[in-house]
Structure 1
Amino acid sequence: MGHSTTIWDQKSEFEVIKDWNNIDQVVLRSPRGASARVSLHGGQVISWRNERGEELLFTSSKAILKPPKAMRGGISIYFPQFGNCGMLEQHGFARNRMWSIDNEPPPTPSNDGNGKVSVDLLLKPSEDDLKCWPHCFEFRLRVSLAMDGNLTMVSRIRNIDAKPFSFSFAYHTYLSVSDISEVRIEGLETLDYLDNLCQRERFTEQGDAITFESEVDRVYLGSPNIVAVLDHEKKRTFVIRKEGLPDVVVWNPWERKSKTMVDFGDEEYKQTLCVDGALIERPVNLKPGEEWTAKLELSAIPSTYCSDHLDHTGLSI
């Protein structure tokens, strides 16, 4: 497997390698041993490991690892739509297209001097994209891995067209969990949500925390900027911090739907939970020359530190 490597200190590393389809992947490594992999197919984060080498994202054993289909797992980007409508493919085209390493800023990965390593990717519409969605844009994505292993994704979408356009967006994030029955989400209590299993009917969350015993497909509206996913068995908590993403999608297919998905194992619903920072209920309307920015930061910490110590009011990414 051929590769080229760029190193700017003795520990932090940025590497470009070829995958099994001869598509570039960027490997980010922090000085303490955490790592992340980003595929230029879809700008998709396909791996995020902590300093002990434990994989924190789920990928299906039956994932289709060949373009043009997005791989089932990791973190994929839903743009310019969430769901299935019009001439666009489901959840938009961004996750199915080839991205490039961005030359503006220069292709040398950014480094803030504190062991943080980043890569900048760029997506522009193809001629085929413009036939289905006739809007010119530049989508810049920065994926960063911090010294402490936190993973950050920053999306910047600029309208370079002569007319406004609107879009919805999500970071579709497959978290790896020990057993879905032992997982709960905190931070979404009392919120309204749209239930995709009930024709997007609107309900209000009644539970003290969200737990799982059947299929779930919901869009929680107007959520706080910090949400916690507690995995009791692994004694691990995922902390999701976000900016510019007012909604949170919660999805698990459970047993019956899992058996209908060709790229998902029958029992794999037990090992994953999707919790997406998203913008769905009120799409962005971007005027010519305007730019929209959204941030997502993921951290994985021992559950003993959560969740009473989470500050649900502030956010600094």
Structure 2
Amino acid sequence: MARKGMMIPGQTKNVELCKGINGLDKVILREGRGCSAEVYLYGGQVTSWKNALGEELLFLSSKATFKPPMAIRGGIPLCFPQFRNHGSLEQHGFARNRFWVIDDDPPPFPSNSVSKAYVDLILKNSEGDGKIWPHRYEFRLRITLGPGGDLMLTSRIRNTNTDGKPFTFTFAFHNYFYVTDISEVRVEGLETLDYLDNLKNKERFTEQGDAITFEAEVDQVYLKTPTKIAILDHERKRTFELRKDGLPDAGVWNPWDKKAKMIPDLGDDEYKHMLCVQASCVENPITLKPGEEWRGRQEISAIPSSYCSGQLDPKKVLLRE
């Protein structure tokens, strides 16, 4: 196991491998302006993303358990090979419950970032996986903290079956955004789209509002979504911008008060400070033949906004290049 403060071979001073909660290995990414991100090898999961002011941008439950095999509540869990209960496996699949390793020799990742703050992780099938999902695979993940503080995650999943069989999966980056007050948050970019309502047995509806706002439990998967989605936190005067590629769908979830009380690793009132917007591929599952690879990518940024004073048109955020 890694010693505290040990540098990752082949990386730079921007990347540090150390011990986290309950002695679990984690990687800290740092950029010169003071931005940072933390990634646990358990789950390959980002658990913290801070801006240059040291403000936390991701929600992490105060009751999150860092005790395998329990999943970590918050940050950015990886849902593979199944998102939610869209299949026969356990909720959200098993990638978030596995120990990943640092990939010392990753293949080239296409990127226009000049950042030195990144880490490559890899997850391969184990004997235990074969009992519930009998396939061989390689799941490579690159997590990058950009020079401006943007957080980028790129997934590459390859079918390495030797029996000639294809496999099919669904996927999501299960982003937990930290918000000041969920009742003062709106999501732009999903209006007029069809969605599956998980609170109504996945029945299909069409979004009628000009934005998504929150006053009760929401658990929906929007279909054929644009590549950019904006989450506006009026209280904090902050806008999260989510850009994605290869992930046509977007889940939106907040448990609200009654459901929050039923979730053991979530504080009763913490639903007020979280919003999940998940870059996902759900409606049309991905099928890979042996040797084929799928890629999915997301980039999230947090920008100051004055929308609540009428000075920012949220539509312009979605058009920003």
Name the TM-score class by shorter chain: over 0.9
Residue aligned with 2:52, SS? coil
Question: Is residue 2:297 matched to residue 1:290?
Answer: no
Determine the structure 1 residue equivalent to 2:33. 32
Equivalent residues, number:
311
User: What's the counterpart of residue 228 of structure 2?
Assistant: 226
- Superposed CA deviations along residues 76-114 of structure 1, whole A, max 9, x for unmatched, are 0000011236663211000000000002228xx999884
Distance of 2:226 and 2:56 partners within structure 1: 27
Contact 1:31-1:115 within 8 A present in 2 as well: no
SS in 2 for 1:75: coil
Choose the corresponding residue for 1:263, options 265, 274, 282.
265
For 1:201 and 1:301, how far apart are their aligned partners in 2?
35
Partner of 1:58, secondary structure, is coil
Preserved CA contact (<8 Å) 2:185 2:234: yes
Extract unaligned runs of 5+ from structure 1. Answer: none
TM-score (norm 1): 0.93
Shift of 1:159: 0.6
Asked if 1:153 corresponds to 2:160, the answer is no
Shift of 1:3: 2.2
Q: C-alpha distance in 2, partners of 1:101/1:76?
A: 17
Alpha-carbon distance change, 20 to 311 in structure 1, aligned in 2, over 3 angstroms: closer
1:182 corresponds to which residue?
Answer: 184
Is the Cα–Cα contact under 8 Å of residues 110 and 117 in structure 1 kept in the other structure?
no
Task: Summarize deviations over 1:132-154 as a string: whole Å, max 9, x none.
Answer: 10110000000000010000000
Q: Which residue of 1 aligns with 2:71?
A: 70
CA-atom RMSD in angstroms = 2.2
CA contact 1:87–1:132 (8 Å) conserved in 2 = no
2:46 is aligned to: 45
Q: Give, as a single letter, the amino acid of the residue that structure 1 aligns with 2:119.
A: V
Query: What is the distance in 2 between the residues matched to 1:279 and 1:219?
Result: 10
Q: Secondary structure at the match of 1:255?
A: helix
Q: Secondary structure at the match of 1:259?
A: helix
Structure 1 match to 2:317: 310
Distance 1:18 1:233 in 2: 35
Q: Which residue of 2 aligns with 1:13?
A: 14
| Stretches of structure 2 lacking an aligned partner (at least 5 in a row) | 307-311
User: For residues 125 and 8 of structure 1, what CA distance do their matches in structure 2 show?
Assistant: 25
Percent identity (aligned): 57
Maintained 8 Å contact 1:7/1:14: no
Q: Deviations over 1:245-284 (max 9, x none)?
A: 0000000000000011110011111000000000001100
Classify 1:241/1:39 alpha carbon distance in 2 versus 1 (closer, same or farther; 3 Å).
same
From the superposition, tell whether residues 85 and 192 of structure 1 become closer, same or farther in structure 2 (CA, over 3 Å).
closer
Partner of 2:212: 210
TM-score scaled by length of structure 2: 0.92
Structure 1 moving runs of 4+ over 4 Å? 6-10, 109-113
